[in-house]
Structure 1
Amino acid sequence: MIRAIVTADRNWAIGKNGSPITVIPDNERYIRSTTTGNTVIIGSRTISTYLIAQIPANRTNLVLSRNKDFKIPGAKIAVCNSVEDALKKAQESTGECYVLGGESIYRQFLPYCEEVEVTAVDYSYDADAHFPNLDKLPEWVLVEESEEMTHFDTVYHIKKYRRRTDYQN
């Protein structure tokens, strides 16, 4: 099963100028623990914003890049040059597969995802990158929503969406 994990605001904004709209430490810890021992698919621009110490070596990091020579010295990554290549490598890996962004990666892999976990931030940020609005896509249904949580003045919920098995295009 392929799942996406994303942090988005009220307008499904996820980033600006290559950076996330916000960072919630508890959410980052959750993503790290959830993806440990599993496989993640992430874009080269997104993973390049991480410090080397933030790229976990205890998971399979599949980085989608058109650059066949893409490397991050000291980081344990496998470069994939196409969606098909990443899907094949993810299938060959152990554990679950999680898509972690950015915008282009989410759009390319959303058709393959069965679930999406959204950290829904109750704020509207100035942004230039967005995730598709799952509330407006008939093939997605909200199946779970957490209680309200806060990090200082940031209010958010965790929402779980599942692809409808009965949806026909």
Structure 2
Amino acid sequence: MIIIACADREWGIGRGGDLLFNIPEDMEFFKTATRGKTVVMGRKTFDSLRIKPLPGRRNIVLTRSESFSFEGIETVHSLDELFSLLENTPQNDVFVIGGSNVYRQLLKYCDTALITKVSAYGKADSFIVNFDKLSGWKKESASELKNRNGTEYQFVKYVRQ
């Protein structure tokens, strides 16, 4: 499984149910990486998509809500259900896309993290683990520093050792 996220300098990923930054190159990176793959998300992350599945992907929502149902979405209520559903799916075709609770639950099953690191402070209320300080993980590669309207960012790949 692969984690994919955009995080600010304090590893914040969202505020009030929305992303912290609107960086078109990050959105394009996300689309390219996940197109044709399976994306796993929590219900709040699904809600942030404005109540529609991501096109061209298999969408799975992990939620405690037994009543959650939506056309074009596969719903699971536990990790056991999720892994049963993913039984015949190659692990490198599964992207964990948020939110913070789902990242936390699935971190131990992931071996790669693709993080768009933004050098700004986003006043986040939702966070992901700091991969720079996470034992057993190392930075494998990083793009050159990019700038979008004064916001500096780079694409960083972390791998489990």
Q: TM-score, normalised by structure 2?
A: 0.92
Task: Tell me what 1:77 maps to.
Answer: 73
Aligned-pair identity in percent equals: 31
Q: Partner residue of 2:11?
A: 12
- 2:62 corresponding residue in structure 1: 64
Partner residue of 1:92 out of 66, 88, 92: 88
Give secondary structure in 1 for the equivalent of 2:98.
Answer: coil
Q: Which runs of 4+ in 1 moved over 6 A?
A: none
**Aligned pairs for 1:81-160 within 5 A:** 81-93=77-89, 96-160=93-157
Aligned-residue RMSD, C-alpha:
1.6
For residue 126 of structure 1, report the CA deviation from its aligned partner. 1.0
Q: Distance in 2 between matches of 1:153 and 1:48?
A: 29
Which AA in structure 2 matches 1:154?
A: T
Residue 115 (structure 1) shift: 0.2
Query: Residue 90 of structure 1: CA displacement?
Result: 2.2
5+ unaligned residues in a row in structure 1: which ranges? 165-169
d(CA) in 2 for partners of 1:57 and 1:8? 23
Inter-partner Cα distance in structure 2 for 1:24 and 1:83: 32
Deviation digits for residues 63-116 of structure 1, max 9, x if unmatched? 0111122123xx411001012211221233366100000000000011100000
TM-score by length of structure 1 reads 0.88
Residue 138 of structure 1: how far off its partner (Å): 1.7
User: Which residue of structure 2 aligns with residue 167 of structure 1?
Assistant: none
Amino acid at match of 2:102: I
Post-superposition shift, 1:155?
0.9
The one-letter code sitting in structure 2 at the alignment partner of 1:47 is F
* Corresponding pairs, count: 160
Aligned partner of 1:4: which letter?
I
**Separation in structure 2 between the aligned mates of residue 23 and residue 116 of structure 1, nearest angstrom:** 20
The answer to whether the aligner puts 1:32 opposite 2:31 as a matched pair is yes
CA shift for structure 1 position 132? 0.6
